[in-house]
Amino acid sequence: VSREEWVASVNETLQRAGHLRSSPRERVLRALAHADGPVSAQELEDQLRSANSVSRATIYHALELLDRHELVFRLDLGDGHARYLPADPTQTPPHFLLCQRCRSLFALPTVELDSAIQRDALRLGVAINPGPLVLHGLCAPCLAASPGA
């Protein structure tokens, strides 16, 4: 699903749930959709406040609404800023690596992880939603530069 398609499908879902459309929320959606990776409420505010005046409260309202409808994923990097990621129902989201040395965030094209989770879930008799995980470690550059610990 393209970014614009995501925006469209979110609007549709919200509409079906009895929510009105509005220009401010539309701007939040677009900013989320076109962000390069997970964005925080603050980043959205900085961007939208200058661009076309969307208030903080509206941004938090919109994010909460999206989260409640499972239209976004919320990531916690442990720095006190929740990050949001558009949730595309047609595919499982990527996981992320938070480098403990350079503090950068990388999408991780994992292969084995999700299926292992599902096998464990099945064995344990629980359901685990595919959702982005934040793994801690060292990114490739920092790993190469590190004292081969």
Using CB under 8 A as the binding rule, whether residue 138 contacts a second copy is answered as yes
**Reduced to 3 states, what is the DSSP secondary structure of residue 96?**
strand
Query: Which of 40, 106, 120 lies closest to 72 in space, CA to CA?
Result: 40
Using CB under 8 A as the binding rule, whether residue 51 contacts a second copy is answered as no
Identity of the residue, 56 or 119, whose beta carbon is nearer to DNA in the bound complex: 56
Using CB under 8 A, which of 65, 131, 145, 147 touches a second copy?
A: 131
Using CB under 8 A, which of 8, 33, 105, 133 touches a second copy?
A: 133
Residue with the two structure tokens 């950068």: 104
Using CB under 8 A as the binding rule, whether residue 76 contacts a second copy is answered as yes
Name which of residues 89 to 128 contact a second copy (CB under 8 A). 97, 100, 106, 108-113, 115-117, 119-121, 123-128
In the 8-state DSSP scheme, what is residue 87?
-
52, 46 Cβ separation under 8 angstroms: no
Q: How far is the CB of 76 from DNA (least distance, A)?
A: 9
148, 110 Cβ separation under 8 angstroms: no
Instruction: Identify any residues that bridge with 86 across adjacent strands, giving them in sequence order.
Output: 72
**Site size with a second copy, rule: CB under 8 A:** 36
